[in-house]
Structure 1
């Protein structure tokens, strides 16, 4: 009976998706329909990005003698032009870099920062209730001080081989001369239009000429972004924060302040004071592997590590044909989410108990609870060393407009990088051709509940919690695998399933990214509809018993690199436009 209901629901979703893509806080971007093949590549130097133009630019840089970091800078600059709905120069992100010669793993935090004028109640209505989500995404109060350019510049100064200006040339050409917009870009413009763009004449003029997305058969140009990239090429990354570009950004924010008097604006100190933070990797062992990811203010990596640890303690790591593995995976996701959504905040406000949350005794107690109480709604646990809960239990937050790329160069240097502008096209505000993020909606809208503070509350100079989780997996001290994905709050759900497939089920990279996803959410269990590879179990065997099931497309964008028999093998998620290419 359940299987029949799921089939009917799937047919209903399929029949309506062509007319209107979903617009929701969980899934604003669905998977690309009709993508047939999973893009793969193998060699000593391999690139996987979310767009073929970005992958080609990165490969060209590697062939010209550039490092993985040079290729990263070039690819992200191109993505700012051809995939502006997901990432860009006015966004933020997290980078994991492995220096093969130094045998050193580095984490760089380029997350957006709340300006000095921020107040905890910035996204509340006069009544004290949170702003509606769609309205909040368009508010200038949602725009964080961007970190992408600072991150790219800092890591290029450390590990780049080619001139900075050289790495930006492919993006400059595409923005100046134009490119034919992909179906996904045109579809994303339509989604942004449904979320709301009336507040941004600049967005409408560029992306909706005549009220319609740019034609697919004519070059789409962004001359303002071309000029921005040319300035960055000439003056370097610091110009974004102190130079001519900084003046343009501040002028654009001042114009928004004129339109919305309750917005307190930015000061030159907001840009000039931005700094990339180098953080210690967050690592945890799973059998013979050492999984490393980014620490807070991202909560996504912690959730992946917890999810896999819970499954390991539950002895639930059997093959994909076992329905019990999928059922326990869904429960482990939910229990890990309960912890990360409660405990994680900007480390500037004090230590976060990541170690205790991964403590084997604590994980064992949580694993027992999720098995013995399958119908229980997970709540945050109290890890060892803590006697009381210091925060209020927050409402769930989400982020969506994200991209991931993975690059390995011929010397074995790795770059695993996830970046975002948040909701599709961020705030939909534009300055100097750049899409401005709305990452500050990742703070809790309510800074306190019943007089008790929420951990992830908005304050000046703080970085909001993120779900981004680039990862590098080691075996016997050497990198074995690099992975990451967009997907907003579902990023840990996607990555825990991909890592389960790669490391435990021993699936090859193409199958690891192509197998179905599931996502345990507050309102039920979501099973992927029409996955690239078929479900290996009957869906009626996956009912959680305590919550409803729904079937829908899930728009992950996994980029996976794995070393197999001495060669790197890359696979790109077919749910988007991802492309894997070798530079050999």
Structure 2
């Protein structure tokens, strides 16, 4: 456990009145119409189809940004999950009680993004103890893992589609262990009661949302014929779920009932754990080289408590999760690079957006090289955030904006010890942000990786394909890659649940899905909230951008129009590419004496509040 050590900081979040005035000014009809006409007149840039980089781009977008304000607020990616969580808070539950209810419902109603067969990170603020703590529930590699498990006999990597459905890609799930441990420490409602909404939905059924139905169709395109249970449940008769017909998952209802009766450890020990192990090991029928799980793989799984990673940036203390996630480091380094360069204060100036894109790409170069599971030695996070190192990187970034960045050598290190991996996919995630009436906060990002994970079902659960987040090639250029697969290791993640403090108290909490783009999304939202003084609705709805290799992806049809002509984002050496971006930001911000929540309309996000 780590106590918050926030320093007293001046307030930069504007008052509610100032925010409202700015919002009205920024959203005048003439400006809106002009911006829309500008978007229509843009010269076409290359559009990206659904791909390995964006496998959840088939989302149905909402026309309205869901917001709520009150003493307690819930923001999740699904209205059923938000309702279940709010009901728990209304009954006197803690933020963690509401989180358990939300994640259980997401496992039923949004299984393409998260579930009991996945993992995640929780950043929790305990208001009574004034303590901030990280719960690492990331999946682990089973003990029979080998570094070349996702390579062909020739030594070449498997194809993307083959790897995502390969049983060797399934990590030991950490979601249930995380929820159970957090509940045992902070929960105020009975564990069994928090699972009842999900049990009822799984047993009695619900109408599948447009996003769930489109995600099933996408899973079919990626390949789902390898698992009969998945086909029978999600593709009855070989077709995606029909609209207007109740969807039920009785096997998942039984799994949830077992957990409700026997507690979270039943997932890892006892009859349910044996059935999970047998179900995974039965997948050898589709992959003869799969070595399977041992009983010890589940029984030995443990949540890791970690110290949050915090830095004073933009006159606030920004705290997030440390390695094995690289997302938090990338967010902090992006903001630090922006502070070092200056000139990012005006959202109506294209240079502010160009600086953001450059800072994101330079932060990516460091995190993708240096971050690994800390079990293999410390990650140089302090050096990578050292002010003199950041200043030097900022100067190099400004001097050569067209250069594709390479990792830097932080203070105290004299050589690059690892092989340099290429980019890889990381996708299929959800986020939940909750504050209860006592001020406790849960910022929680959860995942099964690719849409519907491995598209393998065990005991009604979607099993992750999280081990594709290890670098598939363990050695590059004669050097071992830092993030290589080995038994018991946790693959590097981009998840970055974040809480921001001012005067030692939380004033903002957020997170997002989006794979390797997560820190790009969060950095942009933090810039809008902390530096541009935007209200939550605009912070979430303003356009996103994301550097990717020699391309700069700019959001097509954002919920709120671009305040600039995005064709002006002509960073030297980078091609502009326009496409939709599948974020799912859940934002909470304290304004005055109330919490305000905003849910990303790019998914089915819903914000609900108690008075």
Q: 1:144 aligns with which of 161, 171, 176?
A: 171
Would you identify which runs of 4 or more consecutive aligned residues in structure 1 move more than 3 Å? Answer: 2-10, 31-34
Contact in 2 for aligned 1:242/1:271 (Cα 8 Å): yes
Partner in structure 2 of residue 170 of structure 1: 197
Partner in structure 1 of residue 428 of structure 2: 401
Q: 1:301 aligns with which of 328, 332, 340?
A: 328
Q: Residue 382 in 1 paired to residue 418 in 2? A: no
Q: In 1, distance between residues paired with 2:425 and 2:343?
A: 28
1:229-279 per-residue CA deviation (whole Å, 9 max, x = no partner) reads 000000110000002210111111121124322111000000000000000
In the TM superposition, residue 77 of structure 1 has moved relative to its aligned partner by: 0.1
In the TM superposition, residue 24 of structure 1 has moved relative to its aligned partner by: 1.4
Partner in structure 2 of residue 237 of structure 1: 264
Q: Residue 448 in 1 paired to residue 475 in 2? A: yes
Residue correspondence of structure 1 range 157-556 to structure 2 within 5 A: 157-556=184-583
Contact in 2 for aligned 1:3/1:540 (Cα 8 Å): no
Q: In 1, distance between residues paired with 2:53 and 2:546?
A: 10
In the TM superposition, residue 31 of structure 1 has moved relative to its aligned partner by: 6.3
1:22-76 per-residue CA deviation (whole Å, 9 max, x = no partner) reads 4312111126345111000001100000000000000000011100000000000
Q: In 1, distance between residues paired with 2:164 and 2:542?
A: 32
Q: Cα 1:178–1:362, aligned 2, differ >3 Å: closer, same or farther?
A: same
In the TM superposition, residue 524 of structure 1 has moved relative to its aligned partner by: 0.3
Q: In 2, distance between residues paired with 1:34 and 1:8?
A: 22
Local SS of the residue matching 1:551: strand
Structure 2, unaligned runs of 5 or more = 1-37
Q: Residue 8 in 1 paired to residue 44 in 2? A: yes
Q: Cα 1:3–1:574, aligned 2, differ >3 Å: closer, same or farther?
A: closer
Q: In 1, distance between residues paired with 2:332 and 2:42?
A: 31
Q: In 2, distance between residues paired with 1:4 and 1:544?
A: 22
In the TM superposition, residue 3 of structure 1 has moved relative to its aligned partner by: 8.0
1:440-494 per-residue CA deviation (whole Å, 9 max, x = no partner) reads 0000000001220000000000000000000000011000100000000000000
Q: In 2, distance between residues paired with 1:39 and 1:500?
A: 21
Q: In 2, distance between residues paired with 1:31 and 1:538?
A: 25
Q: In 2, distance between residues paired with 1:34 and 1:518?
A: 17
Local SS of the residue matching 1:520: strand
TM-score normalised by structure 1 residue count:
0.97
Q: In 2, distance between residues paired with 1:43 and 1:23?
A: 38
**Structure 1 stretch displaced more, 22-31 or 141-150:** 22-31
Structure 1, unaligned runs of 5 or more = 14-21
Contact in 1 for aligned 2:142/2:487 (Cα 8 Å): yes
Q: In 2, distance between residues paired with 1:580 and 1:474?
A: 22
Partner in structure 2 of residue 17 of structure 1: none
Partner in structure 2 of residue 18 of structure 1: none
Q: In 2, distance between residues paired with 1:233 and 1:554?
A: 37
Residue correspondence of structure 1 range 568-583 to structure 2 within 5 A: 568-583=595-610
TM-score normalised by structure 2 residue count:
0.93
Q: In 1, distance between residues paired with 2:296 and 2:408?
A: 39
Q: 1:69 aligns with which of 76, 85, 96?
A: 96
Q: In 1, distance between residues paired with 2:58 and 2:331?
A: 22
Structure 1 vs Structure 2 CA RMSD:
1.3
Contact in 1 for aligned 2:314/2:530 (Cα 8 Å): no
